[in-house]
Structure formats: structure tokens, C-alpha cells
Amino acid sequence: MFFGKKKNVAPVEPQLVAPMTGEYINIAQVPDPVFSKKVLGDGVAVMPTEGLVMAPISGKIISVADTKHAFALQADGLDILIHIGLNTVELAGEGFEPMVKAGDVVSVGDPICRVDLNLIRSQGYALYTPIVITNIDAVKELTTHPGTGTAGQTVVLEYVK
């Protein structure tokens, strides 16, 4: 007998795929000390070239910022923050169209937000988008993969718990 084993449950891959298409960089390169100094946790960042944000891992949406610029997910025991742009909270939601709400369950590559990159740029905001594991103490090892990433496809971060 197989007590305690779950059937038909695919294991979560210990990785995050690109939530946005663009150029991925080390989080230390983000020109905001909250992210570059890893105050909120560790991860990777993207300079997006397309405005569709996708789920980087299968999990549950924990929160959507009232200002629509940030999303928190829980997956595989990790808390993950996607923060679209720097200081974009000041836009009060303008230019962001969430496609999920708190409590929604998402799979890798599911759309979670549309972003008007041109509007954000025209308002003078930087588009750096950090993807941060906020409970980084749950991770023993983190490997990021800088370079061009395609939303929903390219692995940009791997972790060992």
C-alpha cells in the first residue's frame, strides 16, 4: 500500500520561468537599494520589452497590490514578488490591467497582468521589474540566468531548498 503518497500530482520544478519577455539581469544591478541590496529577498530582474506578465511558477496568487503594479504568489513553499517597474506605485494603477485576483490558482505561463510599457516610460518611470523570493531563508541555493528571456518559456532562476 502507498499510504501518504499523492497520485497524479506533478512535482513543482525548482525553477522560475520568465514572467515577462526582455533582458534579465542580476538583481544587484537594479537602481533601487530596496532590491539591489536584497532588503526584500533575492531573485532576478527584467527590463521588459513586452507588456504581458505571466506566472513564473505554478501556485496561488496571494495578493495584487491596490495600485496593480505588484503581485505576490506562493508556490513550492516560496513567497514570490513580481514588482513591475520602480516607483510605479505612484501611478495609482494607471497602465496596469490585472488578469488575476488574490486566491486564484495559476499555472506556469498563465497571464496575470497586461502592462502599458509606453505609458509607464512616458511618465518617467524605470521599467526594471524585480522577481524576488521574499522568504529567501527557505532556499539553500539560488542560480540566476541573465540574458534574453521569453515570457512563460525561458528559465531565469533555479533554486535548491
Instruction: Judge whether 69 counts as a catalytic residue.
Output: no
Task: Compute CA distances 66 → 98, 101, 155, whole Å.
Answer: 10, 11, 29
Give the active site residue among 18, 83, 86, 108: 83
Return the bridge partners of 157, or none.
16, 144
Tell me the CA distances in angstroms from 57 to 72, 80, 127, one per residue in order.
12, 9, 22
Residue 145 · residue 24 · CB < 8 Å: yes
- Residues assigned a catalytic role: 83
